Amino acid sequence: MRTVRTPFRSPRALTPTARVRRLRRRITVLFALTSAVGLVAMAALAVRSDGVRWREQLDQAMSADTNWALGLLETDEDGRLDTEVLLDNAGTACPPLFLLAARDTATDLVVEHAPRRPCLTVAPASVQRAALAAVRADDPRSLDARTTEGEPVRMFALPFYPPDAEEDAEPQGVLVTVADASAPRADHRRLTWVVTGGCALLVLLSAGVGHLLSGRAVRPALEVLDRQEAFLTDAAHDLRTPAASLRTLAETALRGETDSTDVHRRTLRLAEGMGTLVDGLLTRARLMSGTAVLAVEPLRLDQLVEAVIEDTAAGGPVTVRAEQAVVVAADPDLVRRAVANLVGNALVHGHRPGEPAEVEVTVRGEEATATVTVEDAGPGLPPEVAGALFDRFRSGSGSTGLGLSIASWVAHAHGGGLTAEPGRRGGARFVLRLPAGGPPAP
């Protein structure tokens, strides 16, 4: 049985584009986590501060009531508490006020007075616990508790001492008051939910903003990677055919099936074609990456076009109509390449089968724009490629279309443009526009 082996690919072997996109996701998550930590810390501080605030407000109110009640307590000649004045002048039912007196020791507390019908019913154990906490700490104490019905309350305990007591004397008793905490707790709970929802909303918003910002940050890297992949694809696509032709030609020469002179001639022609392709690919890569520095200088566009036609057409059927002294500020090498590509494209594709090419080149100058129009008498532009004629690998005859794309990039690099439209004689007309004042500042 034959075993088919498939190449192993590590799950971590990501493409550069995938790595950049993964980096964007990580930046988004990091931005959201950083925002979340800050927001959660601020929310926790706000909730805690609100909880302390409403407790302090209740404690201050209960402290004032308890100290006022403490001023109404009296002591008889035997040192015993006299609560008659307190009970006659203070309403101890609402808020409830409890009086606990110490017997044998300070911690042995007995309830001397409890309201008969308090507005808040608290278990005696809760009152005893609050009083013991104040006695042991020898200081006013407050704590959270519950009524017998389960409603939240706040309890305040204030120890008091006999008249003319020494500093180390034990408390004579404790006053305990109770305040309703249901309304402040409800407000605190609502604030907690509002802060929590606001934090969640802000974290989501920060994640979206982080995603947008990280996208803008990695966009140049993605564009560079796309251009690099496009360049490698172009190079492989354009060099595959001449390389295969050279290999076939070499194999034929080794077998002695053809004349050596013919082999050398065809080899030289293929080498020149490959050199032109490599030069065009490098030019396109420099233009797309933005590394091509424009050597801008004033030049006579009409003279440049005439020189290009002399080199490209070599006395072929090309008619030139140029105005005198059409001057532009541009890169001579790049403009020469763009014009040569347009004329060469017209000579190759701008004629019908069995008929010679007829190309007409017109150079005009205006106040703000100089134009080079290349028109042929060929079959015209196919509708299916007219919209993407200047993209790579697109042309009217199945070739790579690299020359037209380079011409378009040269025009845009100078702040101009390249358009294609039907010609007067049924063929194609390409119009290269260059600004008279030169390319715009980068």
Q: Distance between CA 260 and CA 266 in Å, rounded?
A: 10
Chain-wide mean pLDDT for the chain? 80
User: 213-217, 250-254, 421-425: which has the minimum mean pLDDT?
Assistant: 250-254
Q: What percent of the chain has pLDDT over 70?
A: 82
Tokens of 232: 């490698």
Summarised one tens digit per residue, pLDDT across range 249-299 is 777 777 776 677 777 777 777 777 677 667 766 766 666 666 666 778 888
Q: Distance between CA 396 and CA 409 in Å, rounded?
A: 19
- Model-level pTM? 0.53
If 0-12 CB within 10 Å is exposed, 13-18 middle and 19+ buried, where does residue 157 land? buried
Helix (H) / strand (E) element for 65: namely helix 16-70
Summarised one tens digit per residue, pLDDT across range 20-32 is 888 888 888 988 8
pLDDT above 80: residue 350: no
Strand-strand pairing, 359-365 and 318-322: parallel
